[in-house]
Amino acid sequence: MSQRIDVKFRQSIVVRFSGDSGDGMQLAGNIFSTVSAEVGDRISTFPDYPAEVRAPQGTLSGVSGFQVHIGHGLHTPGDECDVLVSMNPAALKQNVKFLSRRGVAIVDIDAFKKSDLVKAEFTTDDPYTEIGLKSQVVEVPMTTMVKAALEGLGMDHKAQMKCRNMFALGLVCWLFNMPLKNAVSFLEHKFASKPAVLDANVRVLRGGYDYGHNIHASVSTYRIETQDMRPGIYCDVTGNRATAWGLILASEKSHRPLFLGSYPITPATDILHELAKRRDLGVKACQMEDEISGICSAIGAAFAGDLAVTTTSGPGLALKSEALGLAVMAELPLVVIDVQRGGPSTGMPTKTEQTDLLQALYGRSGECPLVVMAALSPTDCFRSAFEAARIAIEHMTPVVLLTDAFIANGSSAWRIPDEGEYPEIKPNYVPEELKATWKPYQRNDEMTRYWAIPGTPGLCHCVGGLEKDYETGIISNRPENHERMVKARALKVANVARHIPELAVKSEDEGAEILLLGWGGTYGHNYTAWERLSKEGVKIDFAQLKYINPLPLNTGDVLSRYKTVIVSELNSGQLATYLQSQFPQVHFERINKVQGQPFFVQEIVDGVKQIIKGGE
Amino acid sequence: MEQNNLFTNNNAGQDLQPKDFKNDNIVRWCPGCGDHAILSILHKAMAQLGIPPEMTAVISGIGCSSRLPYYMASYAFHTIHGRGGAVATGVKVANPKLTVWQVAGDGDCLAIGGNHFIHEVRRNIDVNLLLLNNRIYGLTKGQFSPTSARGFISKSSPYGTTEDPFVPAELAFGARGTFFARGIDVELKISQEIMVAAARHKGCSVVEMLQNCMIFNNGIHSYVTDRATRADRTIHLVHGEKMIFGNERNRGLVQDGFGLKAVTIGEDGYTLDDVLVHDAHCESNFLHQQLAMMDGHDLPLALGVIRDVQASSYEADVDAQVRYIKRKHGFKNLRDMVLAGDTWEVK
């Protein structure tokens, strides 16, 4: 790749677009991250949008944001932003807390009239002082400029205002030396069938870029160095899309058709959208009448021989729990994706949390073990979804894969795997030599039941939710048999540990006595916190769990090596509680946050330091 | 797009006996329960259809009748309360070549599973749904069900219910059902005939089987099932045939304004020509619904296939769309599809 960039001021930069939910901030952010990716930068994004589709214009509840982190060696969308674009006072007020002290706020000053300030609940005429904004503010008359750029095209005010996001985008592209041609081609693609809309958007985009050029003296420009990726072909993916793609690859590698039974729920719906689109790859995605029929149709499809999946978020998982019990009892392969959001109940549907861990582990009637995993990052959703499907099919068990709103909506550059990079998945079919005597709940030496697929002569059988006899598979109420089956189902899931990677520890120094431990989607923040701590000379190791039930075989050994294991998670201590029950000999400390927002790296760094200090 | 005929089972027409669909499990319903007869009729209907056991899947929810899959030598799945229809939908979409039966009771299908019921009917998934209606909860020992009449006294309604029941046919038509038939556990021939018709119909076939519960609701259907009066209080509808009933075969149904009327042929000026001819294939369900709502009192209870119209079925359309879109885009695999999108290379 050519070394396009010659000057670097910073290793990475963070831009946050903010405005009304109707202002097109997600689109502007998306285009910016895409054009950044195309010039070879590492990116990480974080859409932060309101639950309401269209809250009242200009009010605090209607503010929508999109943060993009571009640069080198980064793992999160960034704590603070270097540039904050705010289309109105409400957006500025809601987002000023994210702006770095050395950063720049760019506002549409035309949208800062008295009435706008009132809508955003400002009480004085000096909004900047009122919210304690000390950074540089660039006041840009965006509305005026947009109107000027579109003059003579016969567009009404409303249509003109819809282009305002492109002005902001153009300006930001200029700030970071992004050539406009990529953004223009994005727009050409998006508005291919609407030449008039395309023309207007491109005019405004150029207007913003040129405006930046003209006021050159007042803003310092950043440039981003190219970064050191593994060679290969890359594309930009969100976690949800990567999840969908991982499942498709698993279908290819297992030679079982992919079935999705699902019901729309934020923030998981994009997986349904992507898989619905993928009829072009043979995916049967069915939007069912509710969460329960989503999972039940998937269970039916699993019985009939498909790689069956259902996707949901926390409240949906609760609705599915009885059917999950059925899948455990019938010992069928099933992948359940839970894109976690703020709970309980409807909670904060668009916000991120890690609060479904204990629900996934224990939230069912009876003794009901299943495999629980968690994806680490947007791109890791691909590998994790593949793994979840592999385990489900090879071990005849439901697998719950936990992602979260943060990694599901966030995006990263993803290297497209080579052919053959992922293994074949081997369904546990009834072996030829067993067919004559086979019984439905017969197990192999991993305790795994066989998958006898309807349509196969000679293997007709009945499965169901009632307890079965260990030997014959016929309904049984015998007390000892039930206990034997309870143990068999548990052992089958425990045996999965023999087929997953060991827990890897990152270590800068030998002999660290503290382990920073996280799970799932906090990987980037925990990793960055560990890097920062190590750089500051704190002796600490780091690990992030991806397989939670069963845990990797070496987990006990690893944890026992440390005087203190600090579990950092976006809940009130669910993983810590789980681990404490498994490893009572280990001393756990906790860093928790339950605000519907990702960690700030600094929060983890400070949390670790405080725990160390408290322990001295 | 390709239609239903894609999924005609190539194995149909094999020479099969009812015993080929029976297994060795001991049938555990109460002695005298109508389910025994229905199970036996189903075995016979399956043999008549000639679709081999391995191409047949029987799915149920929870309840007395939902134990039926345990007595089948086919593929079978005893699922959870109310969800049989959703599971059956997944089975059929995954493998449209299977003949899928769903067995449900009135509680399973119309109370806890009511939502799935209306949606599987609306979606017209090709499932043969046997709705065994005994107007009571048997497995939980005698509570009123959504088909129990207003005022019905049961353990959970000791002073009588204060709610109106569902009429299954009305729900099925409300959900735009394409097939509705009714049988009774004591009418073996008609019941076998409608089960076969249900299986041959492409789409969601609702078969209401009036079934007696000896223990908790004995005789609930006796007004229409008693041998002495059955011929006068029921009518066997056959497509293309006159709607004639009665012990003497001299009673007929005629149109009377917006409704139906039972008349005696040769009396009050009515002749055989006035008697309606049953058209189960009529697109409009207006008359079908009126026929299905007859309850044996003023008008005879309708048995047989009341409605049987063609419409595209869900699994066939999913399959056809998948094939069409796949062919149109022509991606070899995931990698091929991703590479066709926006990508960049790092060397």
Determine the pLDDT at residue A39: 60
Residue A266 and residue A212 in one domain: no
Q: Are residues A328 and A196 in the same domain?
A: no
Q: Do A296 and B339 touch (CB under 8 A)?
A: no
Instruction: Inform me whether the pLDDT recorded for A102 exceeds 80.
Output: no
Nearest CA in chain A to B51: A455
For residue A332, list chain B residues with Cβ-Cβ distance below 8 A.
none
Listed residues A184, A218, A252: the one ending a domain: A218
Does position A534 have pLDDT exceeding 60, yes or no? yes
What is residue A222's predicted lDDT score, i.e. its pLDDT? 38
Q: Which of A30, A303, A416 to mutate to test the interface with B (most CBs of B within 10 A)?
A: A303
Nearest Cα of chain B lies from the Cα of A297 at a distance, in angstroms, of 4
Query: Cβ contact (<8 Å) for A288 and B342?
Result: no
- For chain B, the first-to-last Cα distance in angstroms comes to 45
What was the pLDDT predicted at B2? 36
Residue at which a domain ends, from A390, A415, A440 = A415
The model's pLDDT over A259-274, given as tens digits with 9 standing for 90+, comes to: 999 999 999 999 999 9
Do both A45 and A142 map to the same domain?
A: yes
pLDDT surpasses 80 at A441:
yes
What is the band of A69 on the pLDDT scale with cuts at 50, 70, 90?
Answer: confident
| Residue A471 falls inside a structural domain | no
Number of A to B CB contacts under 8 A, please give it.
Answer: 204
Question: Among B95, B102, B124, which would you mutate to test the A interface (most chain A Cβ atoms within 10 Å of its Cβ)?
Answer: B95
Alpha helices in A495-551, H assignment, sequence order: 523-535
For residue A457, the distance in angstroms to the closest alpha carbon of chain B comes to: 5
Task: Count Cβ atoms below 10 Å from residue A128 Cβ, excluding itself.
Answer: 17
Band (pLDDT 50/70/90 cuts) for residue A230 is: confident
Determine whether the interchain pair B78/A465 forms a contact, defined as Cβ–Cβ distance below 8 Å.
yes
Considering the domain architecture, whether residues A304 and A210 belong to the same structural domain is answered as no
* Rounded Cα distance, B144 and A175, in Å: 72
A218 pLDDT more than 50? no
In the structure, what pLDDT confidence band is assigned to residue A52 with cuts at 50, 70 and 90?
Answer: low
Q: What is the 3-state secondary structure (H, E, C) of chain B?
A: CCCHHHHCCCCCCCCCCHHHHECCCCCCCCCCCHHHHHHHHHHHHHHHHCCCHHHEEEEECCCCHHHHHHHECCEEEECCCCCHHHHHHHHHHHCCCCEEEEEEEHHHHHHHCHHHHHHHHHHCCCEEEEEEECCCECCCCCECCCCCCCCCCECCECCCCCCCCCCHHHHHHHCCCCEEEEEECCCHHHHHHHHHHHHHCCCCEEEEEECCECCCECCCCHHHHCHHHHHHHEEEECCCCECEECCCCCEEEEEECCEEEEEECCCCCCCHHHCCECCCCCCCCHHHHHHHHCCCCCCCEEEEEEEECCCCCHHHHHHHHHHHHHHHHCCCCHHHHHHCCCCEEEC
Q: Of A412-416, B172-176, B240-244, B342-346, which range is least confident?
A: B342-346
The verdict on residue B293 lying in a domain is no
Give the closest-approach CA distance of B87 to chain A in angstroms.
4
Distance between A326 CA and the closest CA of chain B, angstroms: 7
Tell me, yes or no, whether A408 lies in a domain: yes
| More confidently predicted of A378 and B204 | B204
Q: Is the pLDDT of residue A356 over 90?
A: yes
Task: Please give the Cα distance from A104 to A95 (Å, whole number).
Answer: 12
User: What is the mean pLDDT of the segment spanning A533-541?
Assistant: 95
* A106 and A32 assigned to the same domain: yes
Domain end point (choices A370, A399, A415): A415
Q: Which of residues 392-451 of A touch B (CB under 8 A)?
A: 415-417, 419
Judging contacts by C-beta atoms under 8 Å, the chain A residues touching residue B54 are: 454-460
* Confidence bin at B8 (pLDDT 50/70/90): very low
- Model pLDDT for residues A125-154, shown as the tens digit of each residue: 899 999 988 878 888 999 999 999 999 898
Whether A299 and B70 lie within 8 Å, measured CB to CB: no
- For residue A38, pLDDT over 80 is answered with no
Mean pLDDT computed over A300-321: 98
Answer yes or no: is B259 within a domain.
no
On the question of pLDDT at B203 being above 60, the answer is yes
CB contact under 8 A, A281 and B341: no
Counting residues of chain B whose pLDDT is more than 90, the rounded percentage is 93
Verify whether the Cβ–Cβ distance B87 to A297 is below 8 Å.
yes
The fraction of chain A above a pLDDT of 70, given in percent, is 94
> Is A518 at the interface with chain B, CB within 8 A?
no
Is there a domain that residue A99 lies in? yes
Q: Does A306 sit within 8 Å of B78, measured CB to CB?
A: no
Residues of A in contact with B88 (CB under 8 A): 300
B347 lies in a domain? Answer: no
The per-residue pLDDT for range B45-68, each reduced to its tens digit, is 999 999 999 999 999 999 999 999
CB-based contact A282 B326, cutoff 8 Å: yes
Q: Is A235 on the interface with B (CB under 8 A)?
A: yes
B242 is a domain residue = no
Whether the CB-CB separation of B111 and B133 falls below 8 Å is answered with no
Examine the domain organization and report whether A116 and A18 are in the same domain: yes
**Residue A442 clears pLDDT 90, i.e. is over it:** yes
Domain count, chain A: 3
Distance from CA of A466 to the nearest CA of B (A): 8
- Closest among A455, A366, A416, A496 to A237, alpha carbons compared: A416
Pick from A520, A248, A239: nearest CA to A389: A248
CATH number of the domain within which B119 lies: 3.40.50.970
**Would B186 be classed as within a structural domain?**
yes
- The whole-number average pLDDT for the span A543-561 is 98
A89 CB near a chain B CB, below 8 Å? no
Task: Name the pTM for this structure.
Answer: 0.86
Which residue in B24, B67, B89 has the most chain A C-beta atoms within 10 A of its own C-beta, making it the best mutation to test that interface? B89
User: CATH no. for residue A280?
Assistant: 3.40.50.970
Q: Are residues A112 and A254 in the same domain?
A: no
pLDDT at A60: 87
Residue B337 clears pLDDT 50, i.e. is over it: yes
Share of chain A above pLDDT 90, in %: 73
Distance in Å, alpha carbon of A279 to nearest chain B alpha carbon: 5
Q: Provide, as residue numbers in chain A, all residues whose Cβ is less than 8 Å from the Cβ of B322.
A: 279, 282-284
> Which one of A1, A325, A461 has the shortest CB-CB distance to B346?
A1
Distance between B281 CA and the closest CA of chain A, angstroms? 28
Does B274 reside within a domain? no
The candidate with the shortest Cα–Cα distance to A428, out of A457, A397, A398, A451, is: A451
Comparing CB atoms, the residue among B85, B334, B347 nearest residue A249 is B334
Number of domains in chain B: 1
- Partner residue opposite B326 with nearest CB, options A259, A280, A419: A280
pLDDT digits (tens, 9 = 90+) for B118-150: 999 999 999 999 999 999 999 999 999 999 999
**Quick one: pLDDT at residue A62?**
86
Residue B53: inside a domain, yes or no? yes
DSSP state of A531: H
ipTM > 0.90 for the complex: yes
Examine the pLDDT at A194 and tell me if it is beyond 90.
Answer: yes
Range name among A66-80, A171-185, B162-176 with the lowest pLDDT average: A66-80
Residue A457 located in a structural domain: no
Q: According to the per-residue pLDDT averaged within each range, which of A31-45, A128-142, A145-159, A369-383 is highest?
A: A369-383
Residue A274 belongs to some domain of the structure: yes
Could you say which of A464, A474, A475 has the minimum Cβ distance to residue B77? A464
Q: Is residue B262 assigned to a domain?
A: no
A246 and A350 both lie in a single domain: yes
Least confident of A44-58, A144-158, A179-193: A44-58
Let me know whether A193 and A243 are in one domain: no
Range of weakest confidence among A126-135, A311-320, A464-473, A545-554: A126-135
CA-based angle A377:A414:A264, to the nearest 5? 60
Residue spans of alpha helices (H) in A425-514: 479-494
Does the pLDDT value for residue A191 go beyond 70? yes
Best mutation target among A297, A322, A466 (most B Cβ atoms within 10 Å) is: A297
- Give the distance from residue B68's alpha carbon to the nearest chain A alpha carbon, in angstroms: 10
Would you call B344 and A38 a contact, using CB atoms and an 8 Å cutoff? yes
- Distance from the Cα of B59 to chain A's closest Cα (Å) equals 9
Is residue A150 included in any domain, yes or no?
A: yes
Looking at the predicted structure, is the pLDDT value of residue A509 above 70?
yes
Q: Do B98 and A304 touch (CB under 8 A)?
A: yes
Query: Is the pLDDT higher at A20 or at A79?
Result: A20
| Mean pLDDT across chain A | 91
Q: Which residue of B has its CA nearest to A475?
A: B70
Query: Could you tell me if residue A444 is inside a domain?
Result: no
Count CB neighbours of A2 within 10 A: 8
Residue of chain B nearest A324, judged by CA positions: B80
Residues A391, A254, single domain; the answer is yes
User: Is a pLDDT exceeding 50 seen at residue A430?
Assistant: yes
- A509-529 average pLDDT score: 94
CB contact under 8 A, A300 and B98: no
CATH code of the domain in which A606 resides: 3.40.50.920
Is A306's Cβ below 8 Å from some Cβ in B? yes
Mutation site, A1, A288, A293, interface B, largest B CB count within 10 A = A293
> What pLDDT, in 10s, does the model give residues B308-335?
999 999 999 999 999 999 999 989 999 9
Q: Do residue A51 and residue A178 come from a single domain?
A: yes
- Print the domain residue range for A363: 239-415
pLDDT at residue A340, as a whole number: 98
Q: Tell which of B59, B77, B313, B328 to mutate to test the A interface (max A CBs under 10 Å).
A: B77
Residue A420: inside a domain: no
**Lowest model confidence (mean pLDDT) among A214-218, A524-528, A555-559, B171-175:** A214-218
- Report chain A residues whose CB lies below 8 A from the CB of B70: 462, 464, 475
Q: What is the pLDDT of residue B5?
A: 41
Query: In chain B, whose CA is at the least distance from the CA of A422?
Result: B335
Residues of A within 8 A of B74 (CB-CB) are 460
* B75·A460 Cβ contact <8 A: yes
How many angstroms separate the CA atoms of A39 and A180, rounded? 11
Determine which of B93, B119, B126 to mutate to test the interface with A (most A C-beta atoms within 10 Å): B93
Boundaries of domain holding B33: 4-223
- Residues of B with CB below 8 A from A474's CB? 25
Task: Give the single-character DSSP code of A544.
Answer: E
CB spacing of A455 vs B347 below 8 angstroms? no
Q: Is A248 on the interface with B (CB under 8 A)?
A: yes
Query: Which DSSP category does A289 fall into?
Result: S
Alpha carbons A466 and B78: distance in angstroms, whole number: 8
Query: How far apart (Å, rounded) are the C-alpha atoms in residues B197 and A173?
Result: 67
pLDDT for the residue A227: 43
pLDDT for res A54:
65
Closest partner residue to A234 (CB to CB) among B85, B337, B344 is B344
Please check whether residues A196 and A56 belong to one and the same domain.
yes
